[in-house]
Structure 1
Amino acid sequence: MYYLLQIGNSIADSTQKVVNAAAQVQEKISLWDLLQKGGFIMYPLYVLLVATIFVFFERLIAINKASKIDASFMNIIRDNIITGNISAARNLAKNTNNPVAKMIDKGIQRIGKPIDAIEKSMENVGKLEMYKMEKNLSILSLIAGIAPMFGFLGTIFGMVQLFYGIASTGEYTLGTIAGGIYTKMVTSATGLIIGLMSYVAYSFLNTQIDKTANKMEAASADFIDILQEPTR
């Protein structure tokens, strides 16, 4: 009977431990608390995240502004040039603030020179405008490369923390290794997520720049065609 009571008590204790463990697992942890477990490596990752968001929206606004082109712009330029009203065409291009208008303005300034010289001048302006749109995009490319590396660095620190805890306590328990595992997993996941965000942002902005570049090339070709049309 005594042994049966002991077995019953053991089962009860085991059951209580399982219940307590389940209750601990069910406890919710906030995102901020989880991120804090990543340790000091999280702070440079926070900086990279803020830089990614800032550069993305700053470039997105600038590129969207550059890509806005009035559908009637080239038609008005064509009518003014064909009728010989060069000054009106120049004023329109000069007062329109986008890459296409700046290219056309340079082309109008070179009217009377050989077509090759006009194309070259417009091409140079186009390159400058492309450089302006691509400004700071290299930051996103850099973050996409180094953010996962910071996460990997956090993995190393987490493993050092884990083994140091085991060596200093001489115990291989869940409590001993939890801190190192948290640091390892949180920093690795955060670094990968930030790197992925930066890569997606970089690719998206490059696509938008390519669309604007196509509009610039089309406008340049239209302008050269206009110069070869007979005047009225």
Structure 2
Amino acid sequence: MKSGLHLLCRCVLLCFACSTLGAAEPVAVLESATDSRTLLDLLKAGGWAMVPLALLSMGTVGFTIYNFVYVRQRNFIDEGVVVQLDQAIEQADMARANEICAQSPGVVTNTLKHSLTQMEQARFAPEALEKAFETASSRELASAYVVVNYLSIISAIAPMVGLLGTVSGMVKAFNSIAAEGMGKPELLADNISEALITTASGMAIAIPAMFFFFFFRNRYGKIVSEVNLVLGQLYGQLLHVGNRQGEGHELEA
């Protein structure tokens, strides 16, 4: 009796071991197949949408590097040039101030050069000078902000391109079901994989692009405040020189 019971237990254990090995084999094959997929394979699985997403990714990297290099206070305000302009305006030497602006183009110098030209044409009208400062500074600061704003555009476009790829993949998946039925799940899996990869890629591009957009926007805002402070000081000096010379006197050309 006991020998028969032992034999039955051994048979049960043997069957359990065989079933476990049989189940583990496809899992191991699946894991090896998954691990063998490279990044290039994933990009190919994403379909056509990965091409514009790759371009947007390169644009994000390029604009980020450019803004790291360009959006710095020293590129907008040259302290040495500002000191020279202070001295030239204090001495009412507008020819020298124009020469300094021409030799050192930048936001501050371009704004001042435009304002000096308008001031000479208007025979030093304070209202014309103020308007010239506002117009020139707005134009210069807006043009410098364009590259920063490109990151915002990319952060908005990338998820939409990824979503378009997702819709394309889902349409292909349902077309596969309609054409082949459920007999070929690998076709359905490829199309769903395309849909998910494009969504993930779009978000992976948009998140850092949005982060760096806000980062550089805040940095740019601080720089604009400093630029406006310098321009305000130069504007005050020009008003002081004009009032000192009195009406009917032209500033030195």
- Give the TM-score band, short-chain normalised: 0.7 to 0.9
Cα distance change on mapping 1:47 and 1:74 into 2, 3 Å: closer
User: Which residue of the other structure, out of 167, 182, 196, is the alignment partner of 2:207?
Assistant: 196
With 141-150 and 222-231 compared, the bigger mean Cα shift is at 222-231
**Matches of 2:139 and 2:74 in 1, distance apart?**
13
TM-score by length of 2: 0.74
Instruction: Name stretches of at least 5 consecutive residues in structure 1 with no aligned partner.
Output: none
Identity of aligned residues (%): 21
Contact 2:101 2:110 in 1 (8 A): yes
Cα distance change on mapping 1:121 and 1:28 into 2, 3 Å: same
Query: What's 1:15 paired with?
Result: 21
Cα distance change on mapping 1:9 and 1:160 into 2, 3 Å: farther
The yes-or-no answer on 1:37 pairing with 2:45 is yes
Q: After superposition, what is the alpha-carbon deviation per residue over 1:137-180, rounded to whole angstroms, capped at 9, x for unaligned?
A: 5544333223212222222233333344444143385x454213
With 94-103 and 19-28 compared, the bigger mean Cα shift is at 19-28
**Matches of 1:65 and 1:96 in 2, distance apart?**
15
The yes-or-no answer on 1:116 pairing with 2:122 is no
**Matches of 1:145 and 1:82 in 2, distance apart?**
49
The yes-or-no answer on 1:219 pairing with 2:244 is no
With 186-195 and 73-82 compared, the bigger mean Cα shift is at 73-82
Cα distance change on mapping 1:114 and 1:79 into 2, 3 Å: same
**Matches of 1:125 and 1:162 in 2, distance apart?**
56
User: Which residue of the other structure, out of 86, 94, 107, is the alignment partner of 1:78?
Assistant: 86
Contact 1:67 1:212 in 2 (8 A): no
The amino acid that maps onto 1:18 is: A
**Matches of 2:152 and 2:89 in 1, distance apart?**
43
- Matched ranges for 1:1-232 at <5 A: 8-9=14-15, 11-22=17-28, 24-25=30-31, 27-58=35-66, 61-64=69-72, 67-109=75-117, 110=119, 113-135=124-146, 139-167=150-178, 168-171=180-183, 175=186, 177-229=188-240
- 1:218: how far off? 0.9
- 1:22: how far off? 3.4
Instruction: Name stretches of at least 5 consecutive residues in structure 2 with no aligned partner.
Output: 1-6, 245-253
The amino acid that maps onto 2:93 is: N
Q: After superposition, what is the alpha-carbon deviation per residue over 1:93-121, rounded to whole angstroms, capped at 9, x for unaligned?
A: 22112111111223333265122211211
- 1:214: how far off? 1.7
